[in-house]
Chains A and B, each alone.
Chain A
Amino acid sequence: MLDNGELVLDTSPRELTQNPLRKIWLPCRNGHIAQRRVCMTNCPTLIVTVGLPARGKTYISKKLTRYLNWIGVPTKEFNVGQYRRECLKIYKSFEFFRPDNEEGLKIRRQCALAALNDVRQYLSVEGGQVAVFDATNTTRERRGTIVKFAEQNDFKVFFVESVCEDPDVIAQNIVQVKLGSPDYIHCNTEEAIEDFMKRIKCYESSYQPLDEALDRDLSYITIMDVGRRYLVNRVLDHIQSRIVYYLMNIHITPRSIYLCRHAGSQVMTDKKQMQFARSLMKFIQEQNIKDLKVWTSQMKRTIQTAECLGVPYEQWKPLNEIDAGVCEEMMYEEIQEHYPLEFALRDQDKYRYRYPKGESYEDLVQRLEPVIMELERQENVLVICHQAVMRCLLAYFLDKSADELPYLKCPLHTVLKLTPMAYGCKVESVCLSVDAVNTHRDRPELVDMKPAVGGGEERRAAPPARTRRWSRSGHGLVSTRFDA
């Protein structure tokens, strides 16, 4: 007897139909297509951070949330400090956090419970799969409450503890993220640092780190000294294993990641390509980057670009452009002409749409996951790739949703310099001025499915314009012009 799942007693096999958007075969009976939710976790997971203030808990929470969402696991973070700010409105001083401040303790407990309530809402009602509960959770008692809550609701719990005693790291942390916090908006730097240090002290006496013996039945990872050492206990399932692997690969050493596309398409002359490569090289030189690694795909045009730089580079097949299947090498107008249905489907849901015998953006993300993992491990890297690939990578770094991802602007001959900072990523966009074809297609207004008579003139989106276009917006930060 098979133990898992439904046992359909009907002996006749269900018919298969191919979902026209995602090109996935699904069974259907009597016209009803089985809804299949591909899920990496069986029951929802609650990730709980543990640690003194300024140990990187929020940094880890936000990064983990961003990563899990990018790989397709609906995740949300719940920062108890936010709830406290909402409740209190004005932060006076560290005295709020004193262990003998009964009023303070009451409010803090209420905030934690309010956050847990929202967690329950997210995981049980809204269909979330992972919730990250970001708070100090430094006492065994508080953690016990959370574990009980999870048991009542059938959530798995995984603790992520960050332990660090290096005063330099802590100071750096305070400077990067605490000084700008709403709590310290009205303080000067010295005042803020002094208050925050006292705040940390309030927690120290009651801090009970996860204990090898007492907590041996819990699932957790303890990260020590920003990743020098890890203790991992009782990893229960796939998602926890992925989380552990991810956490063990990230670091906070300052560095930058440069993303750009290859030097142009077949229409571009060799001379123009060399011009771009020269500008790129000059730009890189002026950046004065230590130990830069250069990666390309295995497609000719990215390799040609790298070759012109005259430096060693690595070829990665996963960086190859999206496979457009039967539509490979067609212009948008040709696709509209030969496959109008496909063209419309793509506009309906560009992220999930899979070209016939090709790939979708969703497939790309899966393909690129090892690249992202290695980018996390590395320091300074220049990635020369393609439009769809660059959009996926950018969406990961800038935390863009699946709906936004396929429309991110990644024009030719523009280098995006990404520098992790505080809880996010600073983006600088540098256009290396050469005449470039804009290959970006905005999401068209009308996406109805009926094949239009007369070739759909009204619905055709603006064809790619052959003008020099400036890339602004989307990632929304500094743009500079760089003239070769």
Chain B
Amino acid sequence: MALTVNTSSEQKTLTQAPLLKIWVPWMGCNLNRRRGSAVPQFCNSPTMIVMVGLPARGKTYISKKLTHYLNWIGVPTKMFNVGQYRREAVKIYKNFEFFKPDNEDAMRIRKACAAAALKDVAAYFAKEHGQVAVFDATNTTRERRAVILSVAKEKGYKVFFVESICDDPEIIAENIKQVKFGSPDYVDRDIDEAMEDFVQRIECYKASYMSIDDERDRRLSYIKIFDVGSRYVVNRVQDHIQSRIVYYLMNIHVTPRSIYLSRHGESELNLLGRIGGDSGLSPRGQKYANTLATFIKSQTIKDLKVWTSHMKRTVQTAEALGVQYEQWKALNEIDAGVCEELTYEEIQENFPDEFALRDQDKYRYRYPKGESYEDLVHRLEPVIMELERQENVLVICHQAIMRCLLAYFLDKPADELPYLRCPLHTVLKLTPIAYGCKVESFFLNIEAVNTHRERPLNVNINRNPEEALLTVPDHI
């Protein structure tokens, strides 16, 4: 590798990008415009993840979950569901006969849809700077997979196949109930009709289904998932992103469960309108902790795990529950660096530029000597991974943390994340359902201060203090 010396005698002075707090050789350099400031970029060529499997094997479930996860950790990812393209082309779904292997007209339409989706994938990579595309379709024949591979080869994309194999009739029936009945294809049918039609649809694919072959396809990169994760075969993982994808897929499950998110009870510093710090609970906060204990008992949750951060206020809240809990440093509140324990008014007074920068891009903004929401997401990745593995969990954490976790489960984008509402003394119960997450909000009726600051209208550095402080919530 050619190493070049800086022949110029003056040393390039590094400057720190004011928002991200990253040192760059000069302000215009492209390091400044990079995404994901906490970890290096690991994607060189774009990657196509190609789903494989009969209908009702969880392909779309996996595609959506994987897409959410990759976007959350900062890898621009988009899902392309060929079924959607078909619905657009055909408008009205009559019945399973469309999918019969000898239906030539339909075959032509289906091929065209796949081709259209592939074209959009190319546009996503070339024009929208996407890094990963999830190609969600049955892709059950070697022929179809060969087409995809040749397109990818021509364009220089990496391909990683994800095949889901399952023959357990109960799982398949459950799948059909959860997601197919609500599909636009069956909007006007009753349940038995829909079930019967869908079963026939699956039969149409079975005859021509060729699973990825361990011998003939040994040069391909893929993971085969058997029976919803009881067994996996992984072949030729090429790079970092594929390794992360495999790890993620091996940790998710479909066992019904709920995740409860709550902040600590109101703290002493909350009352004073001060951010950060490590204070204890206020009397109202203590009351919340006790009420939380009652609430949790009333939910009669099987084998509940309780997690807190290392900070006093979450630990105190958990103590009131009277059960075992685990402390995670990764759940600590965002580090506000030099702004720790200040009020917003004090921040405006002492660091008006910083305050404005934060309002300009709250997700990427890093406090001086502190963290950004973007940093938080990377810090929380092991927590998310473990939440995926676990079943019923109660996480007692902090405002910024809860926003990050919520954004992951509800697939909120980076600009919405820092403004998600996570008020004190409110428990959010998240229950995975179909392709998403049901949210139930329980305010436990103990008054608390509001700590939510909306984005003010004027985010200019030259704004005057009143404009900056317009949206600060009340405090002592």
Contacts and interface: CB of A to CB of B under 8 A. Distances in A.
A binds B: yes
Contacts of B304: 2-4
A25 B23 contact: no
Nearest to A273: B11
Contacts of B389: 237-238, 241
A315 B231 contact: no
A316 B230 contact: no
A314 interface: yes
A290 B312 contact: no
Interface in A285-318: 285, 289-292, 295, 298-300, 303-304, 307-311, 314-318
Interface of B: 1, 3-6, 11-12, 14, 16, 21-23, 25, 31, 37-41, 218, 230-237, 240, 243, 246-247, 250-251, 278, 280, 286, 289, 296-297, 300-305, 310-312, 315-316, 319-324, 326-327, 329-330, 340, 369, 375, 378, 386, 389
B39 A370 contact: yes
Interface of A: 1-10, 13-14, 16, 18, 23-25, 27, 36, 38, 212, 216, 228-235, 237-238, 241, 244-245, 248-249, 270, 274, 278, 281, 284-285, 289-292, 295, 298-300, 303-304, 307-311, 314-318, 328, 357, 363, 366, 370, 374, 377
B3 A25 contact: no
B1 A314 contact: no
Q: 4 tightest CB-CB pairs across the interface, nearest first?
A: A5-B324, A314-B40, A317-B38, A8-B322
Contacts of B230: 233-234
B39 A38 contact: no
Given A5-B324, A249-B243, A232 B234 contact: yes
A377 B240 contact: yes
A311 B3 contact: yes
B303 A311 contact: no
A281 B11 contact: no
A300 B14 contact: yes
B240 A374 contact: yes
12 contacts: A4-B305, A9-B322, A13-B286, A16-B316, A27-B315, A232-B232, A232-B250, A233-B231, A245-B243, A300-B14, A303-B14, A316-B39
Contact of B327 (A3, A8, A38, A274): A38
B232 A231 contact: yes
B297 A3 contact: no
B170 to A, nearest CB: 18
Contacts, number: 164
A199 to B, nearest CB: 30
Given A228-B235, A315-B40, A6 B315 contact: no
Contacts of B23: 298-300, 303-304, 315
Contact of A18 (B237, B289, B312, B386): B312
Nearest to B16: A300
Contacts of A300: 14, 16, 23
B231 A234 contact: yes
A334 B216 CA distance: 68
Contacts of B243: 245, 248-249, 377
B390 to A, nearest CB: 9
B381 to A, nearest CB: 8
A235 to B, nearest CB: 7
A370 B322 CA distance: 34
Given A2-B304, A4-B324, A315-B22, A248 B246 contact: yes
Contacts of A238: 386, 389
A238 B232 CA distance: 17
A307 B12 contact: yes
Contact of A1 (B300, B326, B330): B300
Interface of B is mostly: loop
B319 A16 contact: yes
B6 A310 contact: yes
B303 A3 contact: yes
A248 B310 contact: no
B268 to A, nearest CB: 14
B378 A317 contact: yes
B322 A304 contact: no
Nearest to A311: B3
Given A290-B1, A310-B6, A298 B302 contact: no
A311 B4 contact: yes
Contacts of A310: 3-6
Contacts of A274: 11
B319 A2 contact: no
Contacts of A14: 319
Nearest to B22: A298
A432 to B, nearest CB: 15
Contacts of B369: 328
Contacts of B31: 315
Nearest to B280: A16
Given A2-B323, A230-B232, 16 more contacts: A2-B297, A2-B301, A2-B304, A3-B304, A13-B320, A16-B316, A38-B327, A229-B236, A232-B232, A238-B389, A278-B5, A307-B12, A315-B22, A315-B31, A328-B369, A357-B278
Given A16-B316, A317-B37, A311 B1 contact: yes
A64 B268 CA distance: 45
Nearest to B4: A310
A480 to B, nearest CB: 20
Contacts of A374: 240
Contacts of B321: 2
A27 B323 contact: no
Nearest to A293: B40
Contacts of A241: 247, 250-251, 389
B234 A229 contact: yes
Given A2-B297, A13-B316, A274-B11, A292 B235 contact: no
B3 A24 contact: no
Most chain A beta-carbon neighbours within 10 Å: one of B3, B286, B297, B330: B3
Contacts of A298: 21-23, 37
A28 to B, nearest CB: 11
Given A278-B5, A315-B22, A2 B310 contact: no
A457 to B, nearest CB: 33
B367 to A, nearest CB: 13
A449 B299 CA distance: 48
Nearest to B232: A232
A5 B233 contact: no
B402 to A, nearest CB: 20
Contacts of B312: 16, 18, 25
B246 A366 contact: no
Contact of A229 (B235, B247, B305, B324): B235
A295 B40 CA distance: 9
Contacts of A229: 218, 233-236
A289 B1 CA distance: 7
Contacts of B12: 307
A305 to B, nearest CB: 11
A303 B300 CA distance: 53
A4 B303 contact: yes
Nearest to B385: A241
A270 B251 CA distance: 49
Contacts of A38: 326-327
Nearest to A303: B23
Contacts of B303: 3-4
Nearest to B325: A5
A244 B1 CA distance: 34
